[in-house]
Amino acid sequence: MTPNKRSNRSDGLVVGYVRVSTERQATEGQSIDAQEDRIRAYARANGLTVDKIYKDKGASGKDVNRPSLARLLDDLDRIAVVIVYKFDRISRSVVDLYSLLERFQAAGVAFKSVSEGFVDTGSAIGRFIMSVLASLAQMERELIGERTKDTLAHKREKGEHCGRIPFGFRMADDGRFEKDPEQQKAIARIKRLRRNGRSERDIARRLNLPKSTIHVIASTRQNGRNGRCVSRLHG
């Protein structure tokens, strides 16, 4: 997949993104401060000045649902360069990494990694790496699809229901859904904010929730469910 490309722009912010998910990382050279120091040193060595650092503490890299990363993506129209210490700081998933790089490229934002010097989407080698990542991302999607298909078939054979737990509910001990009090409060707040004219994007930012979740809650009526359900499937 090739995005609508814009050439990298020079009139924008130079920003860094840092993330730690565990205390072990924080004490073994990958702390927030250590990553930030390396990003700023890299920027200086390349004639750049870092304007802002986006920080996600205690956040897993297995998906992209992180508050500071969401803010960075919202600010892409003001950003020229994104620098990370290692590219696994922004994502550990090839699919998610490629998707993010596509968004950066489409917005004319250069992506640079301190540790992996070849990961520079403003260079020919960086664009080649993008094409390799695209192939790996497609393979990962297909492998996930195959594993999910096999798992669902196995569960159907055992008579189990499969699916995701809807926002606002949780799994009870008997395998049925029950309302989650805290998430039900969030649903009520979302609906109230929408009635007051707040946009879905604004609500998502306020509550640190994906915009897609806000859209579903704001546009549909959630009902309790009586059927059994299994936990989310992981690739």
Say if CB 20 and CB 31 are below 8 A apart.
yes
88-110 residues labelled b (16+ CB within 10 A) or e (exposed)? bbbbebbbbbbbbbbebbebbbb
Catalytic residue (one of 7, 21, 99, 131) = 21
What distance in Å separates the CA atoms of residue 89 and residue 116, rounded to the nearest whole number? 12
What distance in Å separates the CA atoms of residue 225 and residue 14, rounded to the nearest whole number? 48
Strand partners, 171: 177
- 153 burial (CB, 10 Å; 0-12 / 13-18 / 19+) is exposed
21 is catalytic: yes
Residues known to be catalytic: 21
